[in-house]
Structure 1
Amino acid sequence: MPRHARGYDTLEAEAWLARRDRRLATWIRRLGPIAPDPRWRRGFDPVDALARAILFQQLSGKAASTIVSRVEAAIGSTRFHCDTLGRIDDATLRACGVSGNKTLALRDLAAREANGEIPDLRRMSVMDADAIVAALVPVRGIGRWTVEMMLMFRLGRPDVLPVDDLGIRKGLQLLDRAEAMPKPRELAVRGERWGPFRTHAAFYLWRIADSGAKPVNRSQD
């Protein structure tokens, strides 16, 4: 099976997008190039990343970081996986500030890892983006958006467009000078012209949204 590289040529992506979309080309010139994300070259454990995504959901960065630090201290490790999460009971997780729903999500993630259901980086390297989404969204507390953030920010897949993301939709509204924010389906159709570099288009749409509104928080930042 062909392996998927982690990352892509961002200058090639910008040149492609500028040729395909005149409005986006104007913004690319205005905002300047977007450098490759250094995390594309760093190893990481998908289970650990998913556990942290669960813990960060619906919390400010500071509050979530405090809870993560408490859990790390309780398990005696800075890595979350089935073995380390097995060192802590539900009551202790709750004492660390982890909600009941998040506790159930962490238990489900750990059980699925123990059963071999969570692909590691090596397996992911031969899976396309849709296959990775299909493998991970059955985990309690993990939705498509969370997996898309991993695909973009950690795996460097070049052709991911999170159509439900409000920041991206806001960016397209500003790009097209539309009166209303586009619906996800409208964004998907509009984004067909950006393939195979829809990830990079999304990065620009976030920057466009940030230039005309309050910055949008993203869990993988």
Structure 2
Amino acid sequence: MKPPHYCVFDTPLGPCGLAWRDGGPEGAPPAVVSFQLPDATVQATEARIARESGARPSSAPPAIAAIIERIRRHLGGEAEDFRDIEVGLDHVGPFARQVYAAARAIPAGRTATYGEIAEAVARPGAARAVGQALGKNPIPLIIPCHRVLAAGGKPGGFSAPGGLATKSRMLAVEGVSWGLPPALKSVQDLRRAAARLKAQDPQLAECLSRTVLFKPNTGHSPYTALFSAVVHQQLTPKAAATILNRVKALYPTAAIPEPGELLSTPDEALREAGLSKAKTAALKDLATKTLDGTVPDTRTIVALSDEEVVRRLTSIRGVGKWTVEMLLIFNLGRMDVFPVDDYALRKGIAKVYGMPEVPTPKQLSALGDAWRPYRTVASLYLWNVVNAEIF
């Protein structure tokens, strides 16, 4: 087999290198075998791409020149989808190939965790192995290992020149920063996100032009929010408020009982206040899981990913995914939550899109892919459409 070729070229991020193998017979496209992010100097970048790919310098043929131009545009802030580019992974094992395929499925502007990639390749618990495979990725950017983070939004590692600083710059170009998950903190945040969403889906334009008032209720701890949510399940607001007040009356020195107090309260006393047997058991499980750390405190939960919050809180008896999604939206203000099981939300999209029938959760999930990373915003405005009909 002939050795591959390489060339070095300027980009908004700095000088990059690309190595490729010629296409096969009958017009097969060339395959990219290596990509080099900027090193300290042009010479260092060229030396590294030559060493790591075993390639020889060459001018770029038209197909490669087109790829280079797409890379320049992407690193300049115009998002490109590189999944159509042929890659050569002849010396890569089957597990790493699966990991790279899962990474290529992550679009610009989004991230996944090592654990989520492990789940995607049917190897739950193999987050460390995923990280090791990505650390050996020969074609960063085109195989976008920079979009894979550690749990809780932490940056994880990055073996390319510049390390985490380069990873941060690549994510920033795509509108992503690691650290705390994106959240809506004010009406202004909501309006800015709605303007971006309007550009992504013009069919939502009229809906997004309406006034929606929203500010997350950040004053409640996860324990407090879930305590109230459990009491309210399957009850009218008035009935739930009556029972909640009776429960509060058992603890005159606190708005709601501390977890330890709740656990020491006899079930009979809670039942007499109006709680069902199932809700009594659910609240006591909530208290137990708060004390053992499964339910995070206010400081911890803001740094957890949406997926981790759902995983932890749905382990509580009687707490389902929809309840946690409401907490993510209305208590944490998370930007990209999409409660597809919510009937009012599905009814709202049927009205806005002129659908003859209310879509299924699966259909709504597919529609919502176009609204990432602003699916919470879409949900709030679609709920507003339904509320306007009712009121």
- Same fold, judged at TM 0.5 (above): yes
Larger RCO: 1 or 2 (CA < 8 Å, sep 6+): 1
Q: Deviations over 1:162-186 (max 9, x none)?
A: 0000000000110111111000011
| Counterpart Cα distance in 2 of 1:193 and 1:81 | 42
Q: Counterpart of 2:224? A: 48
Choose which of 163, 166, 175 in structure 1 pairs with 2:340: 163
The count of residues paired between Structure 1 and Structure 2 equals 210
| Counterpart Cα distance in 2 of 1:106 and 1:131 | 21
Match of 1:65, SS state, is helix
| Counterpart Cα distance in 1 of 2:234 and 2:304 | 29
Structure 1 residue 68 corresponds to structure 2 residue 244: yes
Match of 2:250, SS state, is helix
| Counterpart Cα distance in 2 of 1:124 and 1:189 | 28
13-22 or 147-156, which deviates more: 13-22
| Counterpart Cα distance in 2 of 1:110 and 1:93 | 14
| Counterpart Cα distance in 1 of 2:246 and 2:310 | 30
- Output aligned runs, 1:65-214, within 5 Å: 65-76=241-252, 77-212=254-389, 214=390
| Counterpart Cα distance in 2 of 1:120 and 1:26 | 39
| Counterpart Cα distance in 2 of 1:140 and 1:74 | 23
| Counterpart Cα distance in 1 of 2:249 and 2:303 | 35
Structure 1 residue 25 corresponds to structure 2 residue 205: yes
1:5 shift after superposition: 5.3
Amino acid at match of 1:62: K
Structure 1's consecutive aligned runs of 4 or more residues displaced over 3 angstroms after TM superposition are: none
| Counterpart Cα distance in 2 of 1:17 and 1:206 | 16
Q: Counterpart of 2:120? A: none
| Larger fraction in helix | 1
Q: 1:158 to 1:5 in 2, by over 3 A?
A: closer
Amino acid at match of 2:200: R
Q: 1:115 to 1:163 in 2, by over 3 A?
A: same
| Counterpart Cα distance in 1 of 2:213 and 2:372 | 19
| Counterpart Cα distance in 1 of 2:192 and 2:368 | 17
Question: In 1, are the aligned partners of 2:216 and 2:333 still within 8 Å (CA)?
Answer: no
Identity over aligned pairs, percent: 37
93-102 or 20-29, which deviates more: 20-29
1:123 shift after superposition: 1.4
Q: CA RMSD in A?
A: 1.5
Structure index of larger Rg: 2
Choose which of 15, 36, 39 in structure 1 pairs with 2:195: 15
Amino acid at match of 1:15: A
| Counterpart Cα distance in 2 of 1:166 and 1:38 | 22
Q: 1:122 to 1:45 in 2, by over 3 A?
A: same
Question: In 2, are the aligned partners of 1:81 and 1:113 still within 8 Å (CA)?
Answer: no
TM value normalised by structure 1: 0.90
178-187 or 110-119, which deviates more: 110-119
Amino acid at match of 1:37: K
Q: Deviations over 1:129-169 (max 9, x none)?
A: 01100010010010000000010011000000100000000
Question: In 1, are the aligned partners of 2:314 and 2:320 still within 8 Å (CA)?
Answer: yes
Q: Where does the alignment leave 5 or more consecutive residues of structure 1 unmatched? A: 216-221
| Counterpart Cα distance in 1 of 2:216 and 2:318 | 27
Question: In 2, are the aligned partners of 1:160 and 1:198 still within 8 Å (CA)?
Answer: yes
1:81 shift after superposition: 3.2
| Larger fraction in strand | 2
Match of 1:50, SS state, is helix
| Counterpart Cα distance in 2 of 1:181 and 1:6 | 29
Q: 1:38 to 1:103 in 2, by over 3 A?
A: closer
1:87 shift after superposition: 4.3
Q: 1:183 to 1:56 in 2, by over 3 A?
A: same
TM value normalised by structure 2: 0.52
1:120 shift after superposition: 1.2
Q: Where does the alignment leave 5 or more consecutive residues of structure 2 unmatched? A: 1-153, 155-178
